[in-house]
Amino acid sequence: MEDLRPKEIFEKLVEIGKNKMNLKIYKMLILSFLAGIYISIGGSLYTMITQDIKIGTGFSQFLGGSVFSVGLIFVVLTGAELFTGNNLILVTILKREEAFFKLLKNWFFVFFGNLIGSLFYAYLIYLSKIYVYNSYSWGIKAISIANNKINLSFLEAFSRGILCNILVCLAILMAIGSKSYISKIFSIYFPIMAFVALGFEHSVANMYFIPIGIFLKNDTYLVNLINFNISNLNFVNFLIKNLLPVTIGNIIGGAIIIGFLYYFVYLKD
């Protein structure tokens, strides 16, 4: 089985976009709900792996990014719907194969489904009390991650969102071009490990990372162990200070920098 060449990948992406845009809404919601869970599994693995590593931030981030990549592997290999990956299907619109409102419909319902799936998983993690692991070290790490993200400036979150989805969409493209499961897994692993290790911002991942920190604020004992200010950690700031700029950045990184520029090279007549 010969892998696809770059031009062939984008020709296939146009067809993939048509299929995604013509999914029934209930299927979009189910598949995006599952994708939210899968990415959240990667997020919780990241927290577990990094919460007590004492061998340096860089290597800790590398290991965390390595396990986080399982989330996108699950998404791609099971055909789930992920908002950030679907930013690429702008190329189907640019080729005039579908109407623009279908793209907006897909983005809206997939984004909503990803959010519901992520919140569902985060709340289950909270109910499971897995955060008491290692004398609450897991919980402290989870709140620290959420708090750091919520306190980014708009420009920081926006810029990291652009950088993140450049890498995520490269992973999606290389997986599309790969014929075997093994090559798809390796195509996904390296870009995802890179964006996590570098500290970039992914809107769907943050739908888990920040809400789990907010849920954990309900544990008084855990909050008393925190030695940093978490007053900004709430759902309003989550939506306005992080999710909004990161989502805009993700769209620019995935749809414009990767999708549009490659369309201009390979597909524009």
Tell me the per-residue pLDDT of 179-223, one tens digit each, with 9 for 90 and over.
Answer: 999 999 999 999 999 999 999 999 999 999 999 999 999 999 999
Residues whose CB falls within 8 Å of the CB of residue 24, separated by 6 or more in sequence, listed in order: none
Burial status of residue 266 (CB atoms within 10 A of its CB: 0-12, 13-18, 19 or more): middle
* pLDDT value for 138: 95
pLDDT of residue 79 exceeding 70, the answer is yes
* pLDDT value for 1: 65
Tell me the per-residue pLDDT of 214-256, one tens digit each, with 9 for 90 and over.
Answer: 999 999 999 999 999 999 999 999 999 999 999 999 999 999 9
Please state the pTM of the whole predicted model: 0.96
Average pLDDT of the residues in 173-183: 95
